[in-house]
Amino acid sequence: MASVTLEKINKVFGRDHIIDDVDLEIGDGEFVVFVGPSGCGKSTLLRLIAGLESITDGDLRIDDTVVNDLPPRERGVGMVFQSYALYPHMTVYDNMAFGLKLAKQSDETINDRVMSTARILQLEELLHRKPKALSGGQRQRVAMGRAMAREPRILLFDEPLSNLDASLRVQMRNEIARLHNRLGSTMIYVTHDQVEAMTLADKIVVLNGGHVEQVGSPQALYQRPATKFVAGFIGSPTMNFMPAQLLAKDDHGCRVLAAGVGELALPQDASAQPQSAGLSIGVRPEHLRLAEPSGDNRFEIVNVEYLGNEVYVYLDPKEGDTLLIHRSEAPSQWEEGQHVALVPDTQHVHLFDDRGAALDLPAQRQAA
């Protein structure tokens, strides 16, 4: 168990700046998820922590020791790979014992560690099988067992579930969550799937283009995204964005004219924004109400998806080509081809400036 500190970490491949000044604190026993679109540098960041890539600039500390130049085996980290990367010619037992043998442990210790790891992961029946005789989920567990057997201080997961089918993925996600509760060790997990991130993490790190967009609990990221990017990335279906113009601002909030929707009075503090600035509002699908059309507030329903417990209504956005989404509990009165007015729930509307940064709520400003 250990804490990890990243201080101004940079990684440059040739001319590509893959990781740009990343600062991050990972506490002892925390489950941290790196999430972001492909190519955002999340896997590279994990490999920098693992020691599989060299750090171009900055300090990486594990428990106050700078480990930049230590090889992986001396960092006390274990890693689970996306393709499992089990040794195909070794049995499950030997796969898990390999690292211990290399660490010159006694046969007795090796046996104890492998058996106890196998017990935790329910691999006892499979110890004498080769990887090719295992199912996907079993291979996944062996890969975790191999990483755990050496009792690393930090466990790293590189998209471990993306090779599994959907139902198994949910099951393994649960197993990993329970494993973390049971072991209490520090875990760092990379995924591009925001559902995995939301369900597993104590703390989510959203990466975009090599820099950290926001760090926070799943709840904080969902309710108070710091940037438009985070707002659009976290949550499914995604947040609706509409251009808006700043009309007035005072101590109690501001008034904006949202394209097609009309004037909205919002609690956000827009004092730093110039008069009639071009902003955009973000509304989660569940915070968008539909009503009978009135005046200019008139949107056409282009599709209705029925999911059993809830209904997604897709609307023609008039500007741009990303459909707007309304979510409500089933059954729904709305049908394709109808025209409706959009009524955002102003308590839950997010407001972003022209560079994508969220405008603070007064309460946040007071707290800070």
Partner 1 sequence: MTARQLSKIAKRVGFWALIVLIMVYAVFPFYYAVITSFKPSSELFRVELWPSTWHLGNYAQVLTQSSFLRAIFNSIVVAVSVVFIALLLGITASYALGRVRFRGRSTVLLVILGVSMFPQVAVLSGLFEVIRTLNLYNNPAGLILSYTIFTVPFTVWVLTTFMKQLPMELEEAAIMDGATPWITITKVFLPLMWPAMATTGLLAFIAAWNEFLFALTFTLTDTQRTVPVAIALLSGGSAYELPWGPIMAASVVVTVPLVVLVIIFQRRIVSGLTAGAVKG
Question: Which range of residues in 146-154, 226-234, 241-249, 304-312 is near partner 1 by CB under 8 A?
Answer: 146-154
In whole angstroms, the minimum distance from the beta carbon of 9 to partner 1 comes to 20
Under rule CB under 8 A, which residues in 178-197 are in contact with partner 1?
none
What's the angle, vertex CA 103, arms to CA 102 and CA 108, rounded to 5? Answer: 100
Closer of 103 and 272 to partner 1 (Cβ): 103
- Residues composing the chain: 368
Selected from 50, 115, 170, 220, the binder of partner 1 by CB under 8 A is 50
DSSP string, 76-113: TEEEE-TT----TTS-HHHHHHHHHHHTT--HHHHHHH
Q: Are strands 77-80 and 154-158 parallel, antiparallel or unpaired?
A: parallel
> According to the binding rule CB under 8 A, does residue 69 interact with partner 1?
no
As to burial, measured by CB atoms within 10 angstroms (0-12 exposed, 13-18 middle, 19+ buried), residue 36 is buried
Selected from 11, 42, 141, 150, the binder of partner 1 by CB under 8 A is 150
SS3 label, residue 125: helix
> Residue 364: enclosing H or E segment and its boundaries?
helix 362-367
Beta bridge partners of 34: 190, 205
Closer of 78 and 218 to partner 1 (Cβ): 78
In whole angstroms, the minimum distance from the beta carbon of 71 to partner 1 comes to 8
In whole angstroms, the minimum distance from the beta carbon of 66 to partner 1 comes to 20
Closer of 58 and 72 to partner 1 (Cβ): 72
In whole angstroms, the minimum distance from the beta carbon of 52 to partner 1 comes to 5
Question: Residue 64: left (phi > 0), alpha (psi -120 to 50), or beta?
Answer: left
Query: Which x/- pattern, by CB under 8 A, does the window 72-111 give for partner 1?
Result: xx---xxx-xxx-xxxxx--------xx--xx--------
> Residue 344: enclosing H or E segment and its boundaries?
strand 339-344
Closer of 159 and 213 to partner 1 (Cβ): 159
- Rule CB under 8 A: which residues touch partner 1? 50-52, 71-73, 77-79, 81-83, 85-89, 98-99, 102-103, 146-147, 150
